[in-house]
Each structure stands twice: as C-alpha cells, then as structure tokens.
Amino acid sequence: MSETRIRVGGAEPYDVVVGTGVLGELPELVGERVRTVAVVHAEGLPEIARPVCGVLEKAGYTVHPLPVPDGEAAKEAGVLAGLWSSFAALGMTRSDAVVGVGGGATTDLAGFAAASFLRGVRAVLVPTTLLGMVDAAVGGKTGINIPEGKNLVGAFHPPGGVLCDLATLVTMPREDYVSGLAEIIKAGFIADPRILELVEEDPAGAASPDGPHTRELVERAIQVKADVVASDLKESGLREILNYGHTLAHAIEKAEQYRFRHGHAVAVGMVYAAELSRLAGRLPADVVERHRAVLASVGLPVSYGADAWPELRATMTIDKKSRGATLRFVVLDGVAKPGRLEGPDEELLAAAYREVGR
C-alpha cells in the first residue's frame, strides 16, 4: 500500500507522510535548498538513525548525526545548549536543516533546537514511536522541561514535514506502544468516535503494531490533530482540546520525576477529566465508564495513588492552560463534544480525584 499524505494547513503548511517502508520520501521533505543536515537522534536508536543518514547522504546532503540521551533526559537545557554549539561548529545556516529521529522527547528537543538556532531553521521530524507519530511530532509544538514542570519552555515551530514509517513500530516494547494508544483514544473522545469503535471491536489488535487497524488508527489520530492545529497553531482557543486529560497527566509525570510513561499518565488524566465533567453536570455516567472500559481494554491505567492529591493539586497550578490564578480544564459534554471548565470549585476538583484515586 502506498503512503498516505495528511496535509496540516495554516500559515506554514506541511505534509505528514504515513506508510510502511517510506523512508525514501525523506529527501523530498527536507527540500532542495538544504545542504547540511544535522540528524538529532536518540542514542539508543542507531539502527534507525543509520538508514536515515544513509538516505540523506545518497540524496547529496552533508549529514552529521548528533546523538542525544534517550527519553525525557533529552529535554533538558544542557542538552539543548549542546546542540546549539554543535550546529554552530558545523557552520549551519538558515538554509540548512535539522532532522529529528526518535520518540516524542527527541522530536520535541530537535524541533526546539531548530526553532531557536539562528532564530529558526528548517526541521523535519521522523517519529519512531506511536506517541511521537500521533502527537508529539505533529503540530509544531516544541520544548524542553525544567524542574518546575514539563514543556514550560519552548516555541511554536511548524516542521517542514513529518515522516511516519510504521515499520519502526514493530520493534517498540509493548508497554511503550500501549502508552501511545492513550493519545489515539483521546482523539476518539474529543473528535472521532470511530477510533473508539475500532478499539472496542478489537482491543488486542489495537494494542499491537501488527493489528489490522493500526494504520487507520494512526491516520485518524493524525487527521484529528491536523484539523485542529491548522486553525489554531498557537493554542489560543480550539487547540486546547488536544490537552484533554493532560492537566492531571503532567502533574503525575512531574510527581514521578518523568519516569511514568506519558500515555499512562494521560489515560489517568482522561478518566479524571471525565469524572470532573460528570460531577459538573456535563457528561453522562455511561461515557465516564466508557473511558475506563476502553482504556483498560488495551492495558492502560485508569487510577492513581489516593494519597497523591495534595501534591498533584499544587503542581496543576503551574499549567499552560491556566490564566492568572484560574485553572482551566478541557472537559466533555459528550463524545466528540469537548468544552472548557474554568475555575472549578476546589471540592469539585477533589471529589473528581476521589473517583480516580485508588
């Protein structure tokens, strides 16, 4: 089957290429004007970085692989500064490019390095994880973490293109693959109910990269994100719906010092947001239970420590959706009917967490 091209519109449109064995499409995304390419890749992925570099070298680019730490350890100021120095040493100019290869943490870092070096050079992203393909690499949000919170420093910098080669998913550890499903399921709850139906029809298949609906699930989730970010790049309104479940999720990740998988945290966060929606009188109880059933069916968690609420509540105050001292949550008024809840009562927040805490 040939590749699928999903167009992400807006002021700086680009394509997300999806398929199996589509690495040969990469030079087209990098572009003809580019001469030097810095390939920023997770150091644990040399077997994927090598063919990326090979394809680019064959196309005539001067290629420099730059390994960075695996996972969230890459998203630190010191690693970012090291990339800036490497780019400068390579003599990179604004007509050159950065290619980010790896999971969401690597593409977040590579994108921010490209956004900030020389006030912006071209970035092309090659996500190698399910989470990276359906979420982190699409939409132009880049950033790093600081001790006070996740993704608090970054920039909006749309890539020149995104290449999702589904062949890379086969080598993923099962728990990491399942973690990425949380963002796909999120897309189902906020915009595309067919995603939920596909998971419910075959949970075991959904939890495997070899499943019969893997490509459709990936493409549907990317399409949801593409539709949203095309109309709201800088998260001034509609794009906030993509953060469904993320306010609590980011607090959990910080409490766990980023050792807790992002998708697992988002799964718990979605159940919390659903309970908050129900207690606010906006969402039927059966939809809340559908959250638990769908997420649990693929092996995602639906609860978190009962005694963790005070720490999590304090962390949620530092959230990108907050305005001043007012907490803002993405909630649901029904499946594919996202809304917002501003400044909820503290008892409502605590009551919703009691439904999640175990």
| Residue 336 forms part of a structural domain | yes
CATH number at residue 278: 1.20.1090.10
To the nearest whole percent, how much of the chain has pLDDT over 70?
96
Same structural domain for residues 184 and 325? yes
For residue 317, the model assigns a pLDDT of 84
**Host H or E run for residue 144:** strand 141-146
How high is the pLDDT of residue 321?
Answer: 53
Tell me, what's the pLDDT at 235?
59
| Bridge partners, 68 (sequence order) | 42
Residue 167 shares a structural domain with residue 183: no
Catalytic residue among 157, 186, 246, 278: 246
Whether residues 179 and 151 fall in one domain: no
Catalytic residue among 3, 41, 157, 183: 183
Nearest CA among 88, 92, 78, 126 for reference residue 106: 126
**CA-CA-CA-CA torsion for 11, 101, 207, 212, nearest 10 degrees?**
70
Has 47 been annotated as catalytic? no
Domain-located, residue 237: no
- Does 239 reside within a domain? no
How many CB atoms sit inside 10 A of residue 330's CB?
24
Q: pLDDT band at 1, cuts 50/70/90? A: low
296 within domain boundaries:
yes
Q: Would you call 157 a catalytic residue per the annotation?
A: no
| Counts for the chain of helices (H) and strands (E), in that order | 14, 11
For residues 207-230, average pLDDT: 95
- What residues form the annotated binding site for NAD(+)? 70-75, 104-108, 128-129, 141, 150, 168-171
pLDDT (mean) for 15-37? 96
pTM: 0.92
337 part of the active site: no
Q: What is the mean pLDDT of residues 48-69?
A: 97
186 is a catalytic site residue: no
Q: Is residue 238 part of a domain?
A: no
Q: What is the mean pLDDT of residues 128-146?
A: 92
> Has residue 261 been placed in a domain?
yes
Does residue 319 have a pLDDT over 70?
no
Q: Which residue is catalytic, options 25, 28, 200, 235?
A: 235
- Specify whether 167 is located in the same domain as 186: no
Same domain, 346 and 203: yes
Residues 179 and 164 in one domain: no
243 is catalytic: yes
List the beta bridge partners of residue 67.
41
Chosen domain end from 141, 171, 201:
171
Query: Is 64 labeled as catalytic in the residue annotation?
Result: no
Binding residues: 70-75, 104-108, 128-129, 141, 150, 168-171, 183, 246, 262
Q: Which value, in Å, is the radius of gyration of the alpha carbons in the chain?
A: 20
Token pair 């400068």: residue:
88
Is pLDDT larger for residue 149 or for residue 263? 263
Does residue 252 share a domain with residue 113?
A: no
Domain that holds residue 319: 174-232+244-354
Q: How many CB atoms lie within 10 A of CB 224?
A: 24
Do 163 and 181 sit in the same domain of this protein?
Answer: no
At 129 the pLDDT is 95
CATH number, domain containing residue 16: 3.40.50.1970
Q: Which of 122, 225, 261, 328 is catalytic?
A: 225
Q: Does residue 207 register a pLDDT over 80?
A: yes
Give me the catalytic one of 262, 264, 291, 292. Answer: 262
Domain count, the chain: 2
Final residue in a domain of this structure, among 153, 171, 189: 171
Catalytic residue among 32, 33, 119, 347: 119
Q: Is the domain of 184 the same as that of 273?
A: yes
How far is 106 from 110, CA to CA, in rounded Å?
Answer: 6
167 in the same domain as 178? no
Q: Same domain, yes or no, for 51 and 67?
A: yes
Pair 69, 161 in one domain: yes
Please report which confidence band the pLDDT of residue 149 belongs to, taking 50, 70 and 90 as the band edges.
confident
Q: Which among 122, 157, 220, 250 is annotated as catalytic? A: 250
pLDDT band at 91 (very low <50, low <70, confident <90, very high): very high
What span, in angstroms and rounded, lies between the C-alpha atoms of 119 and 94?
Answer: 9
The model's confidence at residue 318, banded by pLDDT at 50, 70 and 90, is: confident
Residues of the binding site for Zn(2+): 183, 246, 262
Phi, psi of 303 (to 5 degrees): -150, 165
In a domain, 313, yes or no: yes
Whether 291 is a known active-site residue: answer no
- Whether 217 is in a domain gets the answer yes
**Mean pLDDT within 224-232:** 85
Structural domain ending residue among the three candidates 148, 171, 194: 171
